[in-house]
Each structure stands twice: as C-alpha cells, then as structure tokens.
Structure 1
Amino acid sequence: MEPTLTQKPAKAEIVKQAKAYVQALLEEKLPAQLVYHSPKHTATVAKEARALGEAAGLAEADQEALVLAAWFHDVGYIDTYDGHEFRSAELAGEWLSEQGYPPERVVLVQQLIKATHRDATRETELEQLLVDADMSNMGRDDFFANGELLRAEWEATLGKTYSNPDWAENQLAFLCAGKYYTKAARERYEEQLKDNVKEQRKQLKKTEKKKKKKDEEATGTFAEPKRGIETMFRTMYSNHMKLSDMADKKANMMISLNAVLMSLIITYFGAKLGSKTAALSNVGIIRNPIIAVPMGILLATALASVITAILCAQPDVTSFKWLKRSPQIATNRRVNLLFFGNFSKLSLDDFQHGMTEIMGQKDALYTNMVTDIYYLGDVLTKKYRLLRLSYTIFMVGLILTALSFGIALLYKA
C-alpha cells in the first residue's frame, strides 16, 4: 500500500527527515554571529557521532537515537545561548513527537542532548559517545581554524575579547583539560589531540615572543637604547634651545626699544629744564601742566617694560647647595651633572666620579638627561612669563598714554 500524507515516516527515514528539518531551521533562524556553532558544526557532529556509533558497535535503534541527538543538539541556539541544550531537547521532543516517534525514544534523545551541557554527568555509553562527538574538534586537524571562529563568536555574542597570548593560553588549557570518554573516541582522536597540544604550545611560545618583542619596541630598554629615544632627546634639546633664543631676542628688542624711548624723553626734558628761561617761557609743560600726565605714563611704561625684559634676558643658573653631601650624585633624580650650574659646585674628583657612573649606567644617563630637560623647561617658563609681562605692560602703557594725551588735548582746547 502506498503511504498517505497522514502516515508517519518510517524509522529508517527519520534521520533523513531530521537532517533536512534541522538544516532548514538553522539556515533560517540561527543568528548570523554564531560562526562556530553553525550548520556546518552540527553536520560535523552528526557525522562524527555516526562514525563513533559504528566503531562502538551500537544496535540500530541506539545508533539512530545517537545520530538524531547529534542533529538536534545545538538547535536551541536559535532562541538562547547559555543553556541552549535544554531548549534543544525541547525542540527535538516537539518535532519527534509530531513525527510519531516512540515516546520512550523521544525521552532518550532528549537525555542525550542534555548530556552535552558542561555541568551534566555522562553515565551511559550513548551520552558519552555524543559528548565525544561534540568535542571531536579537539582531536581533528581543523582545531585551530575552528578555534578562531569560536573566538570571533564569543566576541560578537558574549563581548569576550582575548589578546593573542590570552587566547593561546585559553586554548592550551582547554586541550590539556579535555578528555574522551569512550574507547572509540580515543582511538579516533587521541593522536591528533596530542599533536594539537604540541602545536598549541609552539604557538603560545611564538605569541609570547612576539608580544615581548612588540613591548620592547614600544617602550625600549635602558640596556639597549633605541634610535627613537635618542631622536626624542635630540629634538627636545633643539626645541628648548630655539625657544630660549627666541625669548632672548624678543627681550632684547623690548630693552632696545624702551631704552631709546626713555633716552629721548629724559634728554628732551633735561635739555628744556636745563635752561631756566626756556623752562619758564617755552616749555609746553609749564604753559599746559596737564601734558605731563601722558609723558609720565609713557616714561613709567618704558621703565617697567625694560625692567621686566632685562629680568627675562638675564642668565638664570640653578644650583644646589647640598650637592656635595649627596651620596649618589649620578643616580639622584634632582641632580643634573650635565649642567654647569650643578657640577660647578663639585670638586673635580667628585665630578669625574659622577660622570664615570653615568657613562657606566644607562639608566643614570637617561636620568640626568631627563633632569636637564626639566630644568631647561623651568627656566623657559620663567623667561616667557616675564616676557609676556613686559609686552603686556608696554601695550597697556601705550594705550593709557594715548588716552591721556587725547584728554590733555581736549582739556587744552
């Protein structure tokens, strides 16, 4: 008799029906970020489960239950990630019941699927065979490629990120802790598992060496200075010298300008006031005394501006009175033997001893160079503060002079 549409599929066909159903379900509903627990992974586990069952000599019914459980063991990922095994068992039970599969066999398939949970106890041979098939990845030559897929999946799904050394350590720990329950699985995967452990150890060593080399290139070492460090110090010294020279030139310009201005004002009024007759009859200040206000402001401005400019341009040498009492001159972070303001307080013997220490210890050399740059920057800060003050005084003084002169003209008119 030909089967009708209402008839249930024969037991020999149930595995093919399950394969088609699971593949369609995963293709349609499985989240795209699950690049490891993909339809390919499910098909591989089903294939390995069939091979292990045949190697173990399972009865036909048990072989069928094992392969069915393998096809359904990850379908729960369409709804949840953690604890997907229990959802997989539910979905498997629903579909198998709809197909008229015997209830006791449905329960067996569900028990096998639940056994793949990380905390489950695997007591029966079927449970152990399914878990071995699920973990067959450890003993296959595609372990490392699949590992990268799992790494990407965890990052996209769980937000777990690993550096290369961390991931290598994680994978090595996983391989070392992994085991196969059944004789069939050990015979099929154990040799490749050992090879994978060896290869993972090699990769971990290579990764650690690369990380160490990268860290050394990024930070450098005192034992072997890098060209980048030397370039940095050379550039910093050059920039400090240029800034110091610029400040001195600007200060000299203010000194010259204000000195000339003061000389003209004093010379003019000195010559006028030197003659009593001229002072009484011709000087504008006598005829219009208010004109003395802008002239006085201009003179005070020039005086204040030239004083601050002189303070900016004058040499500033830092020194330490306690330098001779320092027991470790070369390694003291506050002492700079490369600057004459410090070492001029030392005796020749102490200076030679300190320089010998610097030349013999790279960390002492860098300490002194850093200290030298620090005090150069401290001097520059003072210079530019005084220079800014000089220019500000000059600018404000000129404005006040112009305003007061205008007021004086209005008053005279």
Structure 2
Amino acid sequence: MLALGNTTLTKKEYHEGTYRLMEEHRFFTGYAKELLKDGKIKNMKKLSKKKEALELESPEITEKAGTTKGMQTLLRLTSQNHIQLSEIADSKANILISVNAIIISVILSVLLRKLQTDPYLGIPTAVFLLSSVVTIIIAILATRPKVTMGTFEDDDVVNKKTNLLFFGNFHRVSQDKYERAMRQMMKDSDYLYSSIVQDIYHLGSVLGKKYKLIRLAYNVFMIGIVVSVIAFAVAVMINSGPPPETVTTNTSGSPF
C-alpha cells in the first residue's frame, strides 16, 4: 500500500497511473525529444515489466476488502467446512478400526480353534485376518497426527513467514512470545488474512491425504471381505464331500 496525500493506492494502481501519465506526456521541443526520449522509453519498459509482475502475483487483500462481512463469512465457512470434513474422515476411520478389531478378535477366538479339526479353513482365515490387519494399519495412518517443531523466531513474524494460527508452529513457544506475535499480526490485516488463507490451504492438503488413505482402507476391506467369502465357500465346497467309507477286514475266519 502506498499513501499519496489523503489517497491510499496499491502498488498496481500506482504503477498503472504512472504508466498512463508517461504515455500521455509529450515533448514539445526538439531538444527535449532528442535528449529525453530514450530515457522515457526505458522507464516505460521498466514500468511495463513491473505491471506484468504484479499481475502475476496474487491479488492483495486490502484492509477495506478484508474487513467486509462477506470476506469474513467466506473464510469462516470455508474453515468450518474443512473442520467438519476432517471430523467425518476421522469418524470413518474409527468405524473401520472398530469393525476390523472385532473381526480379528472373532478370528483369533473362534476360527483358530476350528483349524485343528478343519485345516482346510487355514487359507481363507489367513486372507480374512490379513485384510483386516492391513485395513486397520491404513486407517490408523489416516488419523495419525503429524506434529512439527512448534517454534518460531521473531524474524519469522516480521517477515511474515510463519502462520500463527496453526498450533504446530507455536506449541513449544512461551505464552508471552506468542501473544506479542499475535498482536503484531493483528495489526497487519494483510498478514492476518494471509495466515487464515494459509491455514485453510493446509487443512485442505491434510484432508486430501486423509481421504485418500481412508478410501484405500475401504477398498482393502471390501476386497478382503469378498475374497475371504469366496475362499471360504471354495474351501467348504471342496471338502464337503461324503466321508470316506471305512473298510473292515474280518480276520477271525468266521463267515459272520
């Protein structure tokens, strides 16, 4: 932001205004044209490059735009939606963990005993057990938290390089240091809203990884169930024939 008298301009507005001024400017004497024309062209090229660079950058969130209710509502709803989606993902992962834990306990307590009398159930049981264990591992990976160092330096706040809204950046910092940094951030609306946007972005990144793992866990669970049922059915069909007849041999010599 640039202050010009009582008017506040952004860098983009300032460079655009300066460029228009130089475009409209004319030299009236031959001496001025000969002496200053080349310098004017060079300066206009520099301004043009600065304009292009500013257009490629992300638009600034001005104090006027950032304090509107629409902007605040947008950021608040987006953040709430991300948090709700994260809770849904955790709930789905917990369901998978609970169901497969019950399945494993049943397998260990019931089916393993059956293997002593029905050894042909070994392969289906192993497939069922393996799919449940893999599903639990993937679900745990989806819900396992990742904690960063939890510290920041004063220069990071001055240079706007740290996000004070994420606990992973300050959980090992003293309360006084964090309060000072927060007060400094709240004085700078651009830094404040930039931190909110960064927080939403990181929430989305975590959600993307979490939902990919949960989808993988559900796929493994589904495929494991199907393969296990088929394996059990095949094993039972193969071994469900009539029991072999026992042939007794009469060694007494009697016809009866």
Q: Secondary structure at the match of 1:332?
A: coil
- Pairs within 5 Å for 1:212-361: 221-224=61-64, 225-269=67-111, 272=113, 283=114, 285-317=115-147, 319-320=148-149, 323-325=151-153, 327-329=155-157, 331-333=159-161, 335-361=162-188
Does residue 379 of the first structure (1) align with residue 206 of the second (2)?
Answer: yes
The amino acid across from 1:231 in the alignment is T
The whole-number CA distance in structure 2 between the counterparts of 1:330 and 1:380 is: 30
Distance 1:331 1:343, change over 3 A: same
The amino acid across from 1:360 in the alignment is K
The whole-number CA distance in structure 2 between the counterparts of 1:287 and 1:261 is: 21
- Pairs within 5 Å for 1:101-140: none
The whole-number CA distance in structure 2 between the counterparts of 1:222 and 1:311 is: 40
* Aligned twin of 1:91: none
| 1:331 CA drift (Å) | 4.7
Does the Cα contact within 8 Å between 1:313 and 1:383 map onto a contact in 2?
yes
The amino acid across from 1:295 in the alignment is T
| 1:269 CA drift (Å) | 4.3
| 1:288 CA drift (Å) | 3.7
| 1:221 CA drift (Å) | 4.7
* Aligned twin of 1:122: none
Larger Rg: 1
Does the Cα contact within 8 Å between 1:291 and 1:405 map onto a contact in 2?
yes
Deviations 1:326-347 (A, max 9, x none): 61326534x2101221111323
Unpaired segments ≥5 residues, structure 1:
1-168, 174-218, 273-282
The whole-number CA distance in structure 2 between the counterparts of 1:250 and 1:347 is: 36
The amino acid across from 2:107 in the alignment is I
RCO comparison, higher one (Cα < 8 Å, 6+):
2
* Aligned twin of 1:369: 196
Distance 1:267 1:299, change over 3 A: same
* Aligned twin of 2:233: 406
Deviations 1:297-336 (A, max 9, x none): 111111111121122223333x246x43461326534x21
The whole-number CA distance in structure 1 between the counterparts of 2:106 and 2:183 is: 57
The amino acid across from 1:222 in the alignment is T
The amino acid across from 2:62 in the alignment is F
Q: Secondary structure at the match of 1:344?
A: coil
Distance 1:236 1:287, change over 3 A: same
| 1:242 CA drift (Å) | 0.9
The whole-number CA distance in structure 2 between the counterparts of 1:338 and 1:363 is: 14
The whole-number CA distance in structure 2 between the counterparts of 1:370 and 1:265 is: 48
* Aligned twin of 1:140: none
| 1:244 CA drift (Å) | 0.6
The amino acid across from 2:78 in the alignment is M
Does the Cα contact within 8 Å between 1:330 and 1:355 map onto a contact in 2?
no
The whole-number CA distance in structure 2 between the counterparts of 1:331 and 1:369 is: 16
Range with greater deviation from structure 2 (252-261 or 351-360): 351-360
Distance 1:396 1:326, change over 3 A: farther
Distance 1:221 1:369, change over 3 A: closer
The amino acid across from 2:80 in the alignment is S
The amino acid across from 1:372 in the alignment is D
TM-score of the superposition, structure 2-length normalised? 0.64
Root mean square deviation of aligned Cα: 2.3
The whole-number CA distance in structure 1 between the counterparts of 2:200 and 2:222 is: 32
| 1:231 CA drift (Å) | 1.3
The whole-number CA distance in structure 1 between the counterparts of 2:149 and 2:72 is: 28
Does the Cα contact within 8 Å between 1:247 and 1:384 map onto a contact in 2?
yes
Does the Cα contact within 8 Å between 1:330 and 1:337 map onto a contact in 2?
no
The whole-number CA distance in structure 2 between the counterparts of 1:330 and 1:373 is: 22
The whole-number CA distance in structure 2 between the counterparts of 1:336 and 1:387 is: 28
Does the Cα contact within 8 Å between 1:220 and 1:226 map onto a contact in 2?
no
| 1:356 CA drift (Å) | 1.3
